[in-house]
A and B are shown apart, each in its own frame.
Chain A
Amino acid sequence: MIPFDDILAGSGILFAVGTFGVLTRRNFILLLISVEIIMNTAILNFIAFSAYAPGPSILGVTGQAVAVVLVGLAATEVAVGLAIVLALNRVRGSVDVAKAMDLKL
C-alpha cells in the first residue's frame, strides 16, 4: 500500500503545479485545466484521508462519496468555464485573458 505521506506529498506537488499554471498561463483553457488540477488535489486528499482514517469504515465511505460529488462538481465547473471560453472567443476572437480586461477602470 502506498504510504500516506507519499500520497499527501503527491497531492502537494500537484497543487503547486496547478497554482503555477493559474499564475502563469494567459490562455483561458490552460487556466481552466490548472484550476481542475488544483481541484483534483483536493479530491485526492479526500480519498487518501478516507482510506487511511481509523475507526469505523463508514467514515471511509463518506470521504469517497464526497470525492464522487466533487468530480461531478468539477465537471459542472468545466462546463461553465468552457461556456465562458466560447463566449469570450466569440466576442474577442481569442482566449487570451490579458485581452479581456474590461473590469479595469
Chain B
Amino acid sequence: MAFVLIGLLGTRLKNGGGLWAVVAEGLALVWGLYVALSEMGAPLPYHDVSFVWFGLPNGTNFAMGTLVSPLGALMLLVVNGVGLLVVVYSLEYMGHEEGLPRYYAELMLFLTAMNALVLADNYLEFVLFWELVGVCSYLLIGFFWKKPEAAAAAKKAFLVTRVGDVMFFIGIFVFFTAFAGVVDPHAVLYPGTSCPGASVGGGLPWACAGFTFTTPNANSATTFLPAGIVAQNANPWLMGFGGVMILGGAVGKSAQFPLHPWLPDAMEGPTTVSALIHAATMVAAGIYLLAITAIFLGFTEITSLIILAIGGFTSFFAGTMGVVAPDIKRVIAYSTISQLGYMAMAVGASSLVSDVSGTFVGPGAAMFHLFTHAFFKALLFLAAGSVIHVVGTQDLFKMGGLRKYMPVTATTMLVGALALSGIPPFSGFFSKDDLLGLTYAAAQADAVAWPFFALALLAVFLTALYIFRLVFLAFSGDRYRGAPPSAPHPGAAGTHPPTDPHEPSWIMRGPLVILAALSVAAGFLPLLPAFRGLLPGLSWGLFGFTYTGSGWIFSTPDLVISAISLGLALLGLTTAWRLWGNGRVYALPAAGPLPRIHGVLLHRYYIDDAYDAFGRSVILGIARGFAWIDRYVIDGTIHGFEEVFSGISTRGRKLQTGLVSNYASWVILGLVVLVAFFLFVVPHLSGILGGG
C-alpha cells in the first residue's frame, strides 16, 4: 500500500508544478493520517515485504519491505504535515525564483524518500533512503547554485554527513555479523506484538530474526535484552561498538557535536528547505534512527552514556553559538542543533535507565520532543522566512520594529519562541520537561550523567536567551534599523524593496497560523490514550504531576525540575529583554572577557577553522603522500615496464626486415629447432620421466 502511494508521488514529481506538489503532498498527508490513526487504534506493526532485493549464499535475504510501526506513524504525521504546509508556503515564497520545477521535484523526491525511510523494514533499506534524503538535502541547500557560498555549503553538508554515514555503515555491519541475521528494531521496540510476515521474504524468519522476547509484555519488569540475542552469544562489547557506530550516523545526520558544522551553513538554502529538511524532518531522522535502535544502544552502559553526553553537550554548546549569531536563520539553525541534542540526550538517558534498572524504557520522550519540535521549529523558520521575504536581509541588526508591519508573523514567531523556550502551556514545555526528568533519572542511575544534566539545564536558559534575542531584535521597538539595501540579499528569495514592510499574503500566513496552533496543541496530545500508545516510555506531566493514562502521579523531583527549567527559561527571556528588548541593541564592553568570548563564539569555537586547517595540513599531506606514491611508485612501475619493453622492441624491430625470404628463414629455423627437439631431447625426457 505504502509503496504504491509513494510510487504515485514519484510520478507526480515529474510534473514539477507547485500545485501538483501540493496535491500530492495533501494526498500523502491524508494517507499519513490514516496510517497514524490506525496505529493509534492498534499499535501493531504492519509488515509487508514487497520484493527480495538480493540474497546471500548463507540464506539471508535482503528485502525491500514496508513496516509501519507506531513511531513510524508518528514520523509520517510530522513529515507529511510539515511537508504540506511548507509546500503551500513555497507557492508564494519561492514564486519569483528560477528553476521552480527543479525545486518542487527535489522537494517531492525528498518527501518520498523521507516517507520511505520512515517505513523501511530493515537497516539496509533504511540506509538507502537515508542516503537519498542526504542527496536531496545536498541538492536543495545548493538550490541557489550560482552563489558560491550555497554550493560550498551543499558540499560541506554532504561531506560532513558522509563521515557519519560511513560510521553508520560500519555499525550495520557489526550488527549484522553480531546477530547473523536481519536487524529489525521495530520488532524489538514493540514486544508482545507477534511479527506478521515473519516467514515472508524467501521463507526466512524475516522480521523477527533473532529477536524473541522471554516475556511478551512490555510493562512487566523483565530484562529488556531479547532472549534471542543472548542465545546467539552476541558479544556485548561488539554490540556496544556497533551502537557507537550507529550513533555516529545519527550524529552526522542530526548535526551533533562534533559533526555539527554543516547545519548552520546549510542555511544557504531556501528557508522553506531549512524549515522542512533542516528543522523538522531530515535532521530528525538521526534521532528516529537512535530511537528505533534504542534497544541495541542500551547494550552497554558506556554507549548510552556516550549518547547522553554528546546530546547534553551539544544542546549547551550549540546554544552558546546561537546567542551571538547575527543571521536570523543561523540562530534558528543553532537552536535546531541544540534541540536535537536534547533528543539525543533523551534517547541516551532512556537507554541508560533501561540498562541500569533492567526495565526497558522506550525512547518516547525523545520522540515526543521530536514531534513538538518539528512544529514549532518549522514555524520559527517559516516566520523567519516571511521576515526575510519582506525585509530582504537575514541580518538581525538590520531589522527591528517589524511588529507593527507584520503582526501575524510577529505573533506566530512569538508562539514558536515560547514553545521553544519551554514556557507552559506551549508544547515545548511538556516535551522538554519530560526529557529533563528522564535525564535526571539517568543521572541518578549513573553519576557520570550529572554534568550533562547540568549542561542541559543551562541550555534551557540559553534557548530562551537566543530565541528571544531574535524575536526582540526583529520585532520589538519602533525603529527599523535596516537601510533599504541597494541589492537584494543574495540568500533571500523574492525580495521586495523594504521601504514599506508588510505582511505576505495568506498563502504564507496560513501555514504560520496552522503551525502556531499545532505548536500549542501538540503538547496536549498525550492526554489522548491512543496517542500515548505511539510513544513508549513517555511520561507526560505538568509540574510534577505525571499523567499515567488513568490518573496523576506526583513526584517532588519532577516538580523541582519543572520549576528550575521554567525559572531558567524565564530568566533567559528577561535577560534577552533587558539586553535587546524594545529596540535596544546590546553593545559589548570594549574590554574584559566578554568581547573575547563573543569572538570565540562568532567563530564557532574555531571548530570550522580547525577542520579546515586539519584538512589543509593533515589530509592534504596524506593526499600529497599518496600523490607521490602514485607518481613514483605506481606510475614508476608502469614506466619501468614501458622502458623495458620499448628497449626490447627497439632491438626487436630490427628483425623485421620486411623481406619475405627472411621470414621464411625464421620459419625454417623454427622448424629445425622443433624437429631437433623432438628427435633428440624428447626421447631423453621421456626416458627421464619414465614415460613411454
Contacts and interface: CB of A to CB of B under 8 A. Distances in A.
A24 B668 CA distance: 12
17 contacts: A22-B668, A23-B661, A23-B664, A23-B665, A23-B668, A24-B661, A31-B664, A97-B659, A98-B659, A100-B658, A100-B660, A101-B657, A101-B658, A101-B659, A103-B658, A104-B659, A105-B656
Interface in A54-97: 97
Contacts of B665: 23
Nearest to B664: A22
Contacts of B664: 22-23, 31
A102 interface: yes
B651 interface: no
Given A23-B661, A26-B661, A97-B661, A104 B668 contact: no
A19 interface: yes
Interface string B268-290: 00000000000000000000000
A59 B661 CA distance: 38
A30 to B, nearest CB: 11
A97 B665 CA distance: 14
A81 to B, nearest CB: 11
Given A23-B661, A31-B661, A101-B659, 9 more contacts: A23-B664, A23-B665, A25-B661, A26-B661, A98-B659, A98-B661, A100-B658, A100-B660, A104-B657
Contacts of A25: 661
B657 A31 contact: no
B653 interface: yes
Interface residues of B, number: 10
A105 B653 contact: yes
A25 B664 CA distance: 11
B668 A103 contact: no
B661 A22 contact: yes
Nearest to A103: B658
Contacts of A97: 659-661
Interface of B: 653, 656-661, 664-665, 668
A100 B660 CA distance: 8
Interface of A: 19, 22-26, 31, 97-98, 100-105
Contacts of B660: 31, 97, 100
A102 B661 contact: no
A28 B665 CA distance: 15
Nearest to B665: A23
Contacts of B659: 97-98, 101, 104
A104 B661 contact: no
Contacts, number: 33
B668 A19 contact: yes
A7 to B, nearest CB: 19
Contacts of A23: 661, 664-665, 668
A26 B664 CA distance: 12
Contacts of B668: 19, 22-23
A71 B665 CA distance: 25
Q: Which of A22, A24, A31 has the most CB of B within 10 A?
A: A22
Contacts of A24: 661
Contacts of A31: 660-661, 664
A31 B663 CA distance: 12
B545 to A, nearest CB: 98
The list of the 7 closest CB pairs from A to B, nearest first, reads A104-B658, A101-B658, A103-B658, A97-B660, A22-B664, A105-B653, A104-B657
Nearest to A102: B658
A31 B653 CA distance: 24
Contacts of A22: 661, 664, 668
A18 to B, nearest CB: 10
A19 B664 CA distance: 9
A15 to B, nearest CB: 10
A22 B653 CA distance: 23
A24 B665 CA distance: 9
Nearest to A101: B658
Given A19-B668, A22-B668, A23-B668, A103 B656 contact: yes
Contacts of B653: 105
B188 to A, nearest CB: 75
Contacts of A101: 657-659
A22 to B, nearest CB: 5
A23 B659 CA distance: 11
A91 to B, nearest CB: 15
B446 to A, nearest CB: 82
A31 B664 CA distance: 10
Contacts of A100: 658, 660
Contacts of B661: 22-26, 31, 97-98
A33 to B, nearest CB: 14
B650 to A, nearest CB: 10
B484 to A, nearest CB: 78
Contacts of B656: 103-105
A98 B660 CA distance: 8
A26 B657 CA distance: 14
Contacts of B658: 100-104
Contacts of A102: 658
A19 B659 CA distance: 16
A19 B665 CA distance: 9
Nearest to B657: A104
A23 B671 CA distance: 13
Nearest to A15: B671
A47 B653 CA distance: 41
A102 B658 CA distance: 6
B610 to A, nearest CB: 61
Q: Which of B657, B659, B668 has the most CB of A within 10 A?
A: B659
